[in-house]
Amino acid sequence: MLFNSYAFLLLYLPITLAAFFALGSYNRALAALWLFAASLFFYGWWNPAYLGLLLGSILFNFAAGSAISREVHRGRVARAKGLLIAAVSADLALLAYYKYANFFLDNVNQLLDTGWQLGEIILPLGISFFTFTQIAFLVDSYRGEVKERNFVHYGLFVTFFPHLIAGPVLHHKEMMPQFAQARTYRPHLENISVGLTLFILGLFKKTVLADGIADYSTPVFDAAASGQALTFFVAWGGALAYTFQLYFDFSAYSDMAIGIARVFGIKLPLNFHSPYKATNIIEFWRRWHMTLSRFLRDYLYFALGGNRKGSMRRYINLMLTMLLGGLWHGAGWTFLAWGGLHGLYLCVNHAWKHLVARMGLKPLLPRPFGKLLAWLTTFVAVVIGWVFFRASSFDAALEILRGMAGLNGAAVPNAIAAQLGDAWQLLAGIGLTTYLGGGARFIFTWLWIVLLLIVVTAMPNTQQIMRRFEPALQQLDGNAHDEIRLMHRLYPVLVWRPSAAWAVATGVAAALAVFAMSRISEFLYFQF
């Protein structure tokens, strides 16, 4: 079920919420069970066939986690470790089958010129998310960090519908205690107004902004996939449009998830913190899909040894973590390239920091220019990464990059050139050419890009707007050194409070977001 669907807004959410609090006032265990069942229904709405897979995975991991904990408490660490390895292997095998089997076979077939087939395997929704959250649970069981052992709370932690399909990637330690609190089961007006506002802001970001700009990215990537040569402005227009589409789509989902959870009295971890304001790639990854970054750091990078085994191993571990992070997003070479690219960016960034610190280098440019250059470099590097992330094939990605590099020339619609009068002669003199049609598309592409660029670089993000009411588990301010700050003085003015002005603004945003829902579209991160 989609958050931006009438079935969810008009039926599922009100019924689930009303029944939860009604049952909560009578019996908390029953209310938790109801929410668990409602979450399973939410998942099953998409494809009931995979409900069994989800339930089986929950039962298996809860049993495995309990057994591991038991063995740890009994001091049988080797046995616990064996169980952990077996359980994690089973989880990864399931993920590998559904997500990577065909990718693997395709490559083997190409390499060995064979024709092995597994048939079509439909990727169960959210499998990457519920597999990772449960692997973390298993590892923490082994580390002796799991305290609560209530199956319904565990099931709820895995399936709680706001996060089940596209994150944030939750951690049992921050979730299960909240399901055990009595106050969670009582309605609070503050939670409802804060949660609803977060949800509306997210819905607006998704239906108005992300879906609005999607019309300008998709055709460009489709054209590249069909082998069309793209000119400079078209290629950049498509790449930038996707850059904003992805951010507003995914961060919208996170806002909505955090908002819905808050209405239920549950706080989720923060998942985005204005990543496009970052002035270096290390900072970008502290702000983009933060819960996944946290998981990769805690359960992969650290497990590989982190930076404890020398700087060379650190760079290798970084590359491995990012490559696997790329593969987590999808079974394809383009995702691997995206992960590898970011691994490389991170290595370069760390090496540069190390060099600057070691040699005591002073900035060459005055601070505002240096910072602007750092932001621009980071942003362009991220955009190039998204080209691989979005493109349907390596060739399509390279086609777009060729266009962005200006190798196919630069052209504007003839209708625009005709309006420029004599100025066009100057532009034609430096090599600009024209093409027929597409004038309105060109103008709207760049209007959207400029508008959303201003929003992502100059406006406060959702958690900054809602900061007075602690919308998420963490509260972040950002490091002035590592982000560009435009119009930052206006931030306090835009801090949310339950005032008449905010009610009007939120009400208008809600109406526009609902109006924009008539074009139903899926969230991009559902595919991961």
Window 191-210: contact mask with another protein (x via CB under 8 A) = -xx--x----------xx--
Should residue 234 be labelled a site residue for another protein when binding is judged by CB under 8 A?
no
Should residue 519 be labelled a site residue for another protein when binding is judged by CB under 8 A?
yes
Closer residue to another protein, CB minimum distance, 388 or 523: 523
Taking CB under 8 A as the binding criterion, the range among 281-289, 321-329, 450-458, 492-500 that sits at the site for another protein is 492-500
Residues 347-386 that bind another protein (CB under 8 A): none
How far lies 353's CA from each of 278, 459, 481, in Å?
Answer: 15, 28, 13
**3-class secondary structure, 418:** helix
Look up residue 508 and give its two tokens: 């208008």
Look up residue 33 and give its two tokens: 């069970």
Q: Smallest distance, Å, CB 457 to another protein? A: 25
Residues 428-487 that bind another protein (CB under 8 A): 436-437
HSE at residue 99, side-chain half, CA atoms within 13 A, is 22
Active site residue 172: no
Should residue 419 be labelled a site residue for another protein when binding is judged by CB under 8 A?
yes
Q: Smallest distance, Å, CB 408 to another protein? A: 18
Q: Find the binder of another protein among 502, 521, 522, 526 (CB under 8 A).
A: 502
Closer residue to another protein, CB minimum distance, 320 or 514: 514
How far lies 484's CA from each of 262, 454, 477, in Å?
Answer: 30, 12, 13
Q: What span, in angstroms and rounded, lies between the C-alpha atoms of 296 and 309?
A: 18
Should residue 510 be labelled a site residue for another protein when binding is judged by CB under 8 A?
yes
Residue among 300, 297, 312 nearest 351 (CA) = 312
Q: Under a CB-based contact definition with an 8 Å cutoff, are residues 263 and 242 in contact?
A: no
Taking CB under 8 A as the binding criterion, the range among 83-91, 264-272, 444-452, 503-511 that sits at the site for another protein is 503-511
Q: Find the binder of another protein among 128, 231, 291, 506 (CB under 8 A).
A: 506
DSSP letter string over 329-393? Answer: H-SSHHHHHHHHHHHHHHHHHHHHHHHHHHHTPPPSS-HHHHHHHHHHHHHHHHHHHHHHHH-SS
Should residue 227 be labelled a site residue for another protein when binding is judged by CB under 8 A?
no
Cα angle value 48/161/241 (rounded, 5°)? 95
HSE at residue 467, side-chain half, CA atoms within 13 A, is 14
Residues 152-171 that bind another protein (CB under 8 A): none
Q: Which residue has the tokens 């997210």?
A: 202
HSE at residue 428, side-chain half, CA atoms within 13 A, is 14
Closer residue to another protein, CB minimum distance, 310 or 507: 507
Q: What is the maximal distance between C-alpha atoms in the chain?
A: 85
Taking CB under 8 A as the binding criterion, the range among 253-261, 394-402, 411-419, 424-432 that sits at the site for another protein is 411-419
Should residue 321 be labelled a site residue for another protein when binding is judged by CB under 8 A?
no
Taking CB under 8 A as the binding criterion, the range among 100-108, 149-157, 362-370, 491-499 that sits at the site for another protein is 491-499
Q: Smallest distance, Å, CB 511 to another protein? A: 4
Enclosing H/E stretch for 442: helix 439-458
Peptide bond into 269 cis (omega under 30): no
Q: Smallest distance, Å, CB 2 to another protein? A: 16
Q: Smallest distance, Å, CB 65 to another protein? A: 39
Closer residue to another protein, CB minimum distance, 15 or 503: 503
Catalytic residue among 172, 329, 342, 350: 329
Q: Find the binder of another protein among 351, 407, 487, 508 (CB under 8 A).
A: 508
Neighbour-count burial of 441, counting CB atoms closer than 10 A to its CB (0-12 exposed, 13-18 middle, 19+ buried): middle
Taking CB under 8 A as the binding criterion, the range among 26-34, 169-177, 260-268, 511-519 that sits at the site for another protein is 511-519
Closer residue to another protein, CB minimum distance, 208 or 374: 208
Q: Find the binder of another protein among 78, 430, 493, 500 (CB under 8 A).
A: 500
Should residue 515 be labelled a site residue for another protein when binding is judged by CB under 8 A?
yes
Should residue 518 be labelled a site residue for another protein when binding is judged by CB under 8 A?
yes
Q: Find the binder of another protein among 53, 415, 458, 473 (CB under 8 A).
A: 415
Q: What span, in angstroms and rounded, lies between the C-alpha atoms of 37 and 380?
A: 45
Residues 91-130 that bind another protein (CB under 8 A): none
DSSP letter string over 100-164? Answer: IHHHHHHHHHHHHT--------PPPTTHHHHHHHHHHHHHHHHTT------HHHHHHHHH-HHHH
Should residue 183 be labelled a site residue for another protein when binding is judged by CB under 8 A?
no
| Residue ranges binding another protein (CB under 8 A) | 188-190, 192-193, 196, 207-208, 414-415, 418-419, 436-437, 497-500, 502-504, 506-508, 510-512, 514-516, 518-519
Q: Which residues are catalytic?
A: 329
